[in-house]
Amino acid sequence: MANVIEDVTCAGCCCVCDNIQITTDGTQILNVQTICSQGRSWFEQFGQTDPLLPLIDGRTVSHSDAVQQAVDLIHLSKAPLIWGMSQSSTDSNRAAVGLADQIGATIDTAASSNVRALQQVGEASCTLGEVRSRADLIIYWGADALLTNHCHRETLLAGHEEFPRTIVSMGTKTPGSSEDVDKSIQVEAQNTFEVIWYLRGLLKGIDFHEGESAGASISDLKELVSLIQQSKYIVFFFGPEFKQGHLSHREIEALSILVREIQADRRCHTISVPPASDTKGVEHVLAWQTGYAANVNFAAGYPRYFPIEFSASQLIQRGEIDLCVLVGAQPLSSLSTEAQKYLTEVSTILVGPANIDDLDLNVYIPTGVYGIHFPGSIYRIDGTPLPLRGLVSTNLLSEADVLTDITSILKQTPV
């Protein structure tokens, strides 16, 4: 019999919308009512996972054999890495940290550049509720995917009628003329740092001429500064395009300094936007489990943090790992292209609800999905944790159960 479930939370992207309506028959999802194509795809893709089977070097095996092979590979490893968890629940992330602690692995997140920058200058952030109810100037910098997200726009429109609001888009890709964008500013990715410094200068009253090389139009930057000075509550959403390159942490530092100076006489906050297919959360769990939000190594028997030495992409490219444990539905989404190429040269284990065709995995252990098969919690883009519910049944275990089982076996059979 069909069962309609209201107010379902979607883990398909960083927005983590919690107003989805789902119709199920207990074993599969029959209908998804949402205007978001990404959310619909998430539920349709993972609504059925039972056909997935454990694999060892491409051969179908039993679940216990796959787990034992994973344990054997970990025993042989001297420098393991744990990566992924971008769409995993809090329970799964905690289990991944526990496994890293047990085997002396490095565990990293896609928030590495954010963490490195905010440790230097701090962060002023807010919730989406504050953005909706108070922000009269919203600036999307390198966050075009969020700007064009229908559910995100609906969330902001809920409080839009109470006061006028200006929307500004910045980056190499801007939507141009649109009813949702009041002004677009073209900024080349390599000039992000310079543009922020020009904005700081303009806010301090320094006059620049149009012919100067600012990485963007001086007249556009002057107009943006004028909008900032006329606004009471400004929010910067900075996305993946903003955080590209090996000096992205310096650009985030610069933006935080700009925000701090704007805060001298008005409210101003930032919200970091992950890639479109990712969510936030593993960095929060890692922080309150180890004291560090990224680039954590347990080889010494306790957590150590080094932003470059223990960066997942750098470790893989330098050939300093011999095993990679991937966790989650899309564990490669935030890994650099160069690192993905080098990843084929080491042993790999995947624990998650979807196989990776482009990677020759040594062990694949399929799992169910939090928010579809299992209850749990996940973090929204603004750092707010939201509950997940189990909607349909599955014969598969959860990511947390698989990782916990591997950790338990390793404890019983030490090297």
May I ask the CATH architecture of the domain 53-111+278-372+395-412? 3-Layer(aba) Sandwich (3.40)
Rg (CA), the chain: 22
Q: Is 61 helix (H, G, I), strand (E, B) or coil?
A: coil
CA–CA dist 203, 209 (Å, integer)? 15
Question: Which CATH topology does 115-272 take?
Answer: Dimethylsulfoxide Reductase; domain 2 (3.40.228)
Question: What stretches of 35-165 adopt beta strand conformation (E)?
Answer: 55-56, 59-60, 80-84, 106-107, 137-141
| Spans of all domains in the chain | 53-111+278-372+395-412, 115-272
Tokens of 76: 């042989």
Cβ–Cβ under 8 Å, residues 348 and 73: no
Give backbone dihedrals phi and psi of 121, rounded to 5 degrees, phi first: -125, -5
Cβ–Cβ under 8 Å, residues 239 and 141: yes
DSSP 60: E
What is the per-residue DSSP string for 129-173?
Answer: HHHHHH-SEEEEES-HHHHT-HHHHHHHHTTGGGS--EEEEEESS
pLDDT digit string, tens, across residues 293-311: 889 999 999 999 988 889 8
pLDDT digit string, tens, across residues 375-403: 999 999 998 999 999 999 889 999 999 99
Tokens of 48: 């059925």
pLDDT at 337: 83
pLDDT at 190: 84
Query: What does DSSP say about strands 20-24 and 29-33: parallel, antiparallel, or unpaired?
Result: antiparallel
pLDDT at 338: 85
Give backbone dihedrals phi and psi of 162, rounded to 5 degrees, phi first: -80, -25
DSSP 395: S
pLDDT at 162: 67
Q: Which residue has the tokens 């504050």?
A: 130
Q: Alpha carbon 130 to chain centroid distance?
A: 21
pLDDT digit string, tens, across residues 247-280: 788 888 999 999 999 999 999 999 998 876 677 8
pLDDT at 12: 85
Residues of the chain with pLDDT under 50: 177
pLDDT at 246: 72
